[in-house]
Amino acid sequence: MTTFVDRVELHVAAGNGGHGCASVHREKFKPLGGPDGGNGGRGGDVILVVDQSVTTLLEYHHSPHRKATNGKPGEGGNRSGKDGQDLVLTVPDGTVVLDKKGNVLADLVGEGTTFVAAQGGRGGLGNAALASARRKAPGFALLGEPGDVQDIVLELKTVADVALVGYPSAGKSSLISVLSAAKPKIADYPFTTLVPNLGVVTAGSTVYTIADVPGLIPGASQGRGLGLEFLRHVERCSVLVHVLDTATLESDRDPVTDLDVIEEELKQYGGLEDRPRIVVLNKIDIPDGQDLADMIRPDLEERGYRVFEVSAVARTGLKELSFALAEIVAKARAAKPKEEATRIVIRPKAVDDAGFTVTYDEQEDVYRVRGEKPERWVRQTDFNNDEAVGYLADRLNRLGVEDELMKAGARAGDGVAIGSEENAVVFDWEPTMVAGAEMLGRRGEDHRLEAPRPAAQRRRDRQAEHDEAQREFDEFNPF
Ligand SMILES: Nc1nc2c(ncn2[C@@H]2O[C@H](COP(=O)(O)OP(=O)(O)OP(=O)(O)O)[C@@H](O)[C@H]2O)c(=O)[nH]1
Ligand SMILES: [Mg+2]
């Protein structure tokens, strides 16, 4: 059984971020040095890039699981962990990226077009980076975030200017082989072509691409023959060419009914109505073929088709055909808006979403907090470390989560879930604990041990706090 490789399911996993390090500088005779734990490295992204020398998705059919490397954890002595390496996957021009539900995530057309299919996790901050004027010696670090894991589907929609359609053995592949340098498989049995062939044609000053699709038969729309699946390859073309066989000896077929049948199947497929069409009568090197062509030509012209008589084998009528196609293609290109020359980078989701929502989830009897920031902060928290948990509470409080919980009607002891239903951290709310913490000061410090701060010091501390918030914001908004 032949496998079709113009549609594959791909499982991609970006690298995890490395954990931050909690460490205290040690030096002889200086027992209490400052915090010197470095940050974890970023996990590598999984990136799809169009490479025009790649023509199939075969590679991904054979190995559909791909993972980028993890970031390394930070170390003491302020050493940051190394970033993970991005995994770059090359795909053919015209690859469409879909999610498992069939939604289009990206349509990759043009050399170098890039799509980040899975984003690497951020590295966690080490305790050196977490230190501030008010939290001089944090005894914790942030965890690295897990990288994205995505199931995606890649579909190839050939990017060709001209598409050849017709019955099996009408001579579509033969035509490509004589119009271009492509060498597709040609044989006198039906369904020789199983995946589209692509050729480049030069006619005068116009260069265009031409593709065939596996042969169509009546009922293709119901899945007969190879079905209509391959018609997606003609969706991007600017002109359709009906290749009709004038030399078949089957009693129930003649070129005009063949044309009607194919048109009916195209209609079933849909979306191709606006494409100009021309008719090629092939195999006129055979005397009966020429006679039949002469006979049906007026009928076809009456229907409004431009008709070309050719022989792919004797190589006649090809020049006229290739120049006529060039003209149609040039016209279609002129009508299209100019393509962006720049590389497009498409990310699977927006980078920033500063907001959050609090809703009461009746089913689970919890107040559910959703939002990019709070959910990220939870992922970064080492719940075995009380100080880290306290830091999380401070962050949530500062974002206003506590206030919103209060407004939503939450009382002490109520369940609060941060995150989606499948993936949430649930805890009992203790608003007084946080209020108490505010009174006592932030985690990692204790007012009672310090002399009252002079005004200038308080100002500096406020500035430091502001800087920290800014850093957090910057870290979250790389652009
Ligand atoms: N005499 C003659 N035979 C031709 C001509 N063009 C193609 N053929 C023959 O017709 C047969 C089918 O040709 P292909 O080019 O493989 O046909 P196809 O339309 O690509 O067929 P599928 O891939 O099966 O859909 C081969 O044996 C070719 O040699 C022609 O102009 N004259
Ligand atoms: Mg063929």
In three-state secondary structure terms, 355 is coil
Q: Is the CB of 193 under 6 A from ligand 1?
A: yes
Residues of the chain with pLDDT under 50: 1-3, 340-343, 351, 433-451, 477-479
CB of 82 closer than 8 Å to CB of 44:
no
Give the distance (Å) from ligand 1 centre to CA of residue 242.
Answer: 14
213 Cα: distance to centroid of ligand 1 (angstroms)? 13
- The ligand 1 atom at the shortest distance from the C-alpha of residue 214 is 25
pLDDT of residue 444: 47
Task: Report how far ligand 2's centroid is from the alpha carbon of 310 (Å).
Answer: 17
Rounded to the nearest angstrom, the distance between the alpha carbon of 178 and the centre of ligand 2 is 13
pLDDT of the residue at 413:
86
The rounded Å distance from CA 80 to ligand 2 centre is 57
Nearest atom within ligand 1 for CA of residue 212: 20
CA nearest ligand 1 atom 21, residue? 169
Q: CA nearest 378: which of 364, 391, 361, 359? A: 391
Cβ–ligand 1 distance for 173 under 6 Å, the answer: yes
The DSSP line for 138-174 is -S--PPPPPPPEEEEEEEE----SEEEE-STTSSHHH
Question: Which residue ranges form the domains of the chain, and what is each CATH number?
Answer: 1-157 (2.70.210.12), 162-335 (3.40.50.300), 357-451 (3.30.300.350)
Check residue 225 and give its pLDDT.
78
Q: What is the pLDDT of residue 291?
A: 93
| Cβ of residue 221 lying under 6 Å from some atom of ligand 1 | no
Q: Is 451 helix (H, G, I), strand (E, B) or coil?
A: coil
Per-residue pLDDT tens over the stretch 142-165: 999 999 999 999 998 877 899 999
Ligand 1 atom closest to the Cα of residue 186 is 16
Mutate to test the pocket of ligand 1, among 167, 169, 197 (most ligand atoms within 8 A of CB): 169
Q: What is the pLDDT of residue 236?
A: 84
According to the model, what pLDDT value does residue 97 have?
93
pLDDT the model gives residue 52: 83
Measured distance CA(108)–CA(352) in Å, rounded: 24
**Atom number of ligand 1 nearest to Cα 190:** 24
pLDDT at 342: 41
Q: Write down the pLDDT at residue 122.
A: 94
